[in-house]
Structure 1
Amino acid sequence: MSPPPPSYVDVLVIGAGPAGVMMGTALSHAGINVRVVDKRPAKVMAGQADGIQPRTIEVFQSYGLAQRLLERGNQMHSLAFYNPRRDGKGVERTSRVPDVTAPTARYRFEVTLHQGEIEAIFLDSMRAHGLEVERPCVPESIEISGDEKELQSRESYPVKVVLRHLVDATLDAAPNGMHTNAIDPSVESSGSTLETVYAKYVLGADGAHSWVRNALGISLDGEQTDHVWGVVDSVPVTDFPDIRNRTAIHSDNGSCMIIPREGDKVRLYVQITDGLQADDHGRIDRSAVTPERVMEIAKRSMRPYKLEFPDPPEWWTCYVIGQRVAKNFSVKDRAFIAGDACHTHSPKAGQGMNASMNDSHNLAWKLAHVLRGWASPDLLKTYELERRKYARDLINFDKKLADLFSGKAVSPGNAEGVTHQEFQGLLQSMGGFTSGIGIQYIPSLITDATSQSLAEGLVIGQRFVPQEIIRIADSRPFEIQDLLVSDTKWKVVFFVGDPKEVREYAVVTAVGEYLQEEKSFLRRFTPKGAAKDAVFTILTVSSTAKDDADYTDIHPGLRTHWSRAFTDDIAIDEKAGGTAYRVYGIDPASGAVVVCRPDGYVSFVCALEDVTKGRLEEYFGKFMIATKV
């Protein structure tokens, strides 16, 4: 029998964990030809990652997926700290503080929900756009063309992947129930079929033991620590008063972290310090760790409070903290890795799943731009530049956190131990980073901070700060982030001051007329024949009082639709609004233009009067492809 003909796809995603399903969702929403394959015969049903940070909730919202997450997940608003009592009789609460210490966060809490349910949100969204995960399916080989002409061509498919579609496959599992993404060589190939796929781009989102990363010869830089932790998901019976708060416990029996979950469920991270031996290769032997042992240590750590486990745990695992970052996040800008495939660290800061999904969120729109011919392939280089810098920062933070968390607390018998002030201080000082709110991308092809002073409250390289504004036509309030949806379009926000004033009216009119000219960025970088808002969404925000404002004050060249003209005033219900110009640091008398990337990050600012001088054309011309006349 002759082999089946090869298949062709724009983007092949290998791995349907958080990074993979985020990429599948983003690209399927954008109408990109994408396939997602996974070795698992079914989605995750329990355990694994479970924490969603405030910035990631904003990202969910930008895809229209936050409501289900908020409805089904548990919210963590407070963080409690427990330390040894002076009398040596267990632990006591030292303090209780807000869980999120990021003042501009739209959502001032974390959400916890098991990974399978989080993945299901994306799987259902993909399905609504005609995309299903193909499983069980494993890659057998990957080859990237060495022909430079082929690599530079937008029409070529330079990545060859051989896939094996399995009929009967067993899910491989590491000891203690901790799943891996390694391919089990014992899986029988009888009844399976081979498929050769030619792809324009490939994403390896196949976990910490990534086959893609290994096949591409990408190394992981970093080290394994000697910190061993057990994790148990259960519904405990307890009189511990902070069981429904995120809680960090430093006890004489070791450290413990409590993460409340959906329903009555609780996740316990428990430090394992005794009875562990290293094998001949120096690796910690975890075979002596059982869920019963983890639960027993948790009981001791939480004394004098009672903790019982009437039912077996729903899920458990044991891990040794490793902190590593891939040397490269891409090969020839045709094959990429994301998520645990390119960075591993401890899970207690709640960063793993968030980092994974935000890797894909960063890359997806860039792939869409290049595939559509909107942008130069050089745009793809910013993925590794931005996300590897973030990953290194994450590892540096994780090292500090792991050392402090795994260290003994200060006590009468341990004067050199970790103080409460040290531990709480680290978590609170890094709140902007751990929440994702303070993440800032460095200057690059797409991040230009030259005119930051025109909008000091919108930090170039950071996400667009939430504010409520009023739609002029009907006085309806909108959160500005809800106008910055993840639809692969650039959002260009014109803060026009009060166009009823003579000077502002003249400037707004000049800008509107300029944008209607062929040389403007709107015409120059929008493909011929495409909708006028195919690439750019234009929003205007005035400072006119809502009772005086008219959307017709905005010149038609700026007023692309009545629904996109807003003003900065207090809403009718007087609950919010009227602070955008002040919070963003924009002078209403002069205004400003703020460019927001398709992933919600501020990338460029210029003066309103500089629009007619070609500043926006200059910015976009660095990476966008002009329309051929």
Structure 2
Amino acid sequence: MTIPAEAESSVDVLVIGAGPSGLMAAHGLARAGVNVRIVDQRPAKVAAGQADGIQPRTIEVLQSYGLAERLLREGNQMHMAAFYNPSPNGGIVRTGRTADITAPSARYPFEVTLHQGAIEAIFLDSMAAMGVHVERPVVPTSIELSADKAELKDPHSHPVKVVLKCLAPTEGQPETEVVNAKYVIGADGAHSWVRKSFGISMDGEQTNYIWGVVDIVPDSNFPDVRNRCAIHSTNGSCMIIPREGDKIRLYIQLTDTDVLNPETGRVDKNKMGPEKLMEVAKKTFYPYTMHADTFDWWTIYIIGQRVASKFSVNERVFIAGDACHTHSPKAGQGMNASMNDTHNLIWKLSHVLRGWADMSLLKTYEFERRKYAQDLIDFDRKFSALFSGKPRTSAGGDGVSHEEFLQAFQTFGAFTSGIGIHYAPSPVVHTQHQAHARALVVGQRMRPHVFVRAADARPFEVQDLCPADTRFKVLVFAGDTSDAAQRARVQALADAVEQGFYRRFGGAEPGKVFDVLAISSAPKDKVDYTDLPPVFRTHWSKVLLDDTDMFARVGGGGYDAYGIDKTKGAVVVVRPDGYVGIVAPFESIQDVDDYFAGFMKA
């Protein structure tokens, strides 16, 4: 076979690594119309095993891209958690059951479990419909970032040079290619080549906790085999994660003698296999039986808790996912944190590439996601210690009690679900008027609620009206628009919006940058959508009401739920990633102008 000489090309964004984080990035960028390529060294997508838990907030995020329906159809839902502890009579006994997720405002108040390959397939199929495919097996062999400051500050330049090597070139395909990129995203896992190429350190430590994981279809008389279970026994700890179909995943605590090579002190997989993992599990489950004939997937790991010292190099090369944070998998955070990293980055890159935003916007990626990763490691340290710790028994006073573990499980609920993620004040998070929407926390995601459309009384979940389409959603809570005096206030606000940020940063087609929705507190029998000024009803579907549907089954109570005054109203700006950026009273609309002026180009 003749292989042609090295090729050379240019691209806006090159994504290295096609795990969940890289696929989220490539999919979201392609959907935004960005020229993106994604490469991976694996010859095929993951077939089984790996990460498998999708948290409530991540389901909301996937819904914002139109991907949640398939996930919910194919995956298993976890609604209940059960807890087992040592029995006074030997073996284990159930000490309680509770909701799997402690997050009252969750739109999807459960976790979904589905193997990583199936989750990746959801992205791959959607990308294929847009003509984007993962190039494999391809590895980067060198990466070089320009040191020219003028080039780095030029949004149109391609300052990153990456040499790619195709491991299985076809006839006529070059073996190597030089790619000149505006931006590179390293989503290439815990042993990230991109991170190492720039000498970015991982700060943290390795624990002494060793765990085995095995995916099975169980033959068992254990009554909670279809619930998430935290099992503390005198033989060690175990967790059950029910999966799609009849499958379950077992996390099994191991001892040093089980898996460590005494000469090297390192984990030796040859000392352990799925059959031996099941032998350990059987002792933990006594007096219940737990048996399996076949094993879908298994692995062993030592929990490491580390965060990268930085998440970007000159805002041109970014790292995301396991490349910048590692932790235990038992709280189901790895894949979720990874996908939400690039979800945070997608809209920021898109705005900069379109010339809508200043490159300084990209600094907020590291600011927001590194703080989250540090919080995640702090949480994981506590959770892993509780989970891996010795259980308290009636005979001994030390160890972890059921009450301690349950309290921690519920206290951490807002964090593990992703619902409580809170970004600190920054150019894209302004908190000065928080009091005008007390329960819509600036820096947190837009809370779900059902409103009805004024034109036809059809109910809609507000999150579905705020998709991840790179537009800022400007929600105008217009108050009681059946009152003439309030309509005059709304008209004055509309004039200020038109003369302010809407035209200043939206240009000739502001609808491409801003999606404006008006939400009236007046009842459906008193409102015409045509009552609202044109800028607040650019389409008949853009006017909503805080009222119930025609049969009073859903809707209503939104102003109260959000802590907004029903007569005065407020303006709420939701970022393209679904997080509240600023709230303001009508009279302070200038502060919304100033908010956008902080990072957008007129």
Q: Given the two structures, how large is their TM-score scaled by the length of structure 1?
A: 0.93
Q: State the distance in 2 between where 1:414 and 1:358 align.
A: 43
Show the counterpart of 2:516.
538
Show the counterpart of 2:536.
558
After superposition, the C-alpha distances for 1:95-139 in whole angstroms (9 at most, x for unaligned) are 000001001000010000000000000011111111000000000
After superposition, the C-alpha distances for 1:364-400 in whole angstroms (9 at most, x for unaligned) are 1000011111111111010001100000011011111
Give the match's secondary structure for 1:120.
helix
TM-aligned CA deviation for residue 413 of structure 1: 4.0
Q: State the distance in 2 between where 1:404 and 1:273 align.
A: 16
TM-aligned CA deviation for residue 3 of structure 1: 3.2
Q: State the distance in 1 between where 2:551 and 2:10 align.
A: 54
Within the candidate set 359, 374, 385, 1:392 is matched to 374
Match status 1:12 vs 2:14 = yes
**Counterpart of 2:144 in structure 1: which amino acid?**
E
After superposition, the C-alpha distances for 1:566-595 in whole angstroms (9 at most, x for unaligned) are 010011132211111000000011110000
Contact residue 516 and residue 535 of structure 2 kept, 8 A: no
Contact residue 279 and residue 285 of structure 1 kept, 8 A: no
Within the candidate set 490, 500, 525, 2:505 is matched to 525
Contact residue 158 and residue 199 of structure 1 kept, 8 A: yes
Give the match's secondary structure for 1:195.
strand
Show the counterpart of 1:302.
285
Aligned-pair identity in percent equals 59
Within the candidate set 599, 605, 616, 2:592 is matched to 616
TM-aligned CA deviation for residue 192 of structure 1: 6.8
**Counterpart of 2:244 in structure 1: which amino acid?**
E
Map 1:93-492 → 2, pairs under 5 A: 93-167=94-168, 193-273=175-255, 275=257, 276-277=259-260, 282-309=265-292, 311-492=293-474
* Number of equivalenced pairs: 598
Give the match's secondary structure for 2:469.
coil
**Counterpart of 2:591 in structure 1: which amino acid?**
R
Match status 1:68 vs 2:70 = yes
Give the match's secondary structure for 1:6.
strand
Q: State the distance in 2 between where 1:334 and 1:3 align.
A: 28
Q: State the distance in 2 between where 1:440 and 1:280 align.
A: 46
TM-aligned CA deviation for residue 408 of structure 1: 1.3
TM-aligned CA deviation for residue 412 of structure 1: 3.4
Contact residue 46 and residue 114 of structure 1 kept, 8 A: yes
Show the counterpart of 2:57.
55
Show the counterpart of 1:78.
80
Contact residue 494 and residue 608 of structure 1 kept, 8 A: no
Give the match's secondary structure for 1:444.
coil
Gaps of 5+ in 1: 170-189
**Residues 196 and 484 of structure 1: CA distance in aligned 2, closer, same or farther (over 3 Å):** same
Within the candidate set 22, 41, 44, 1:42 is matched to 44
**Counterpart of 1:294 in structure 2: which amino acid?**
L
TM-aligned CA deviation for residue 288 of structure 1: 1.2
Within the candidate set 518, 537, 548, 1:570 is matched to 548
Contact residue 28 and residue 346 of structure 2 kept, 8 A: yes
TM-aligned CA deviation for residue 281 of structure 1: 5.8
Q: State the distance in 2 between where 1:572 and 1:358 align.
A: 37
TM-aligned CA deviation for residue 168 of structure 1: 7.3
Contact residue 571 and residue 577 of structure 1 kept, 8 A: yes
Q: State the distance in 1 between where 2:194 and 2:272 align.
A: 31
TM-aligned CA deviation for residue 552 of structure 1: 0.7
**Counterpart of 1:421 in structure 2: which amino acid?**
E
Show the counterpart of 2:476.
494
Within the candidate set 582, 586, 593, 1:604 is matched to 582
**Residues 289 and 2 of structure 1: CA distance in aligned 2, closer, same or farther (over 3 Å):** closer
Q: State the distance in 1 between where 2:18 and 2:256 align.
A: 36
Between stretches 21-30 and 495-504, larger displacement belongs to 495-504
Q: State the distance in 1 between where 2:215 and 2:255 align.
A: 20
Q: State the distance in 2 between where 1:582 and 1:515 align.
A: 25
Contact residue 167 and residue 191 of structure 1 kept, 8 A: no
Q: State the distance in 1 between where 2:327 and 2:445 align.
A: 24
Between stretches 360-369 and 281-290, larger displacement belongs to 281-290
Contact residue 574 and residue 582 of structure 2 kept, 8 A: yes
Q: State the distance in 1 between where 2:428 and 2:261 align.
A: 48
After superposition, the C-alpha distances for 1:415-470 in whole angstroms (9 at most, x for unaligned) are 21110011111110010000000110011111010000000010000000000001
Q: State the distance in 1 between where 2:184 and 2:256 align.
A: 44
Give the match's secondary structure for 1:222.
strand
Give the match's secondary structure for 2:351.
helix
Contact residue 4 and residue 173 of structure 2 kept, 8 A: no
Show the counterpart of 1:511.
493
Show the counterpart of 1:187.
none
Q: CA RMSD in A?
A: 1.5
Contact residue 84 and residue 250 of structure 1 kept, 8 A: yes
Q: State the distance in 1 between where 2:583 and 2:281 align.
A: 52
Gaps of 5+ in 2: none
**Counterpart of 1:11 in structure 2: which amino acid?**
V
Contact residue 166 and residue 192 of structure 1 kept, 8 A: no
Within the candidate set 544, 547, 557, 2:525 is matched to 547
**Counterpart of 2:284 in structure 1: which amino acid?**
S
Q: State the distance in 2 between where 1:516 and 1:47 align.
A: 52
**Counterpart of 2:93 in structure 1: which amino acid?**
E
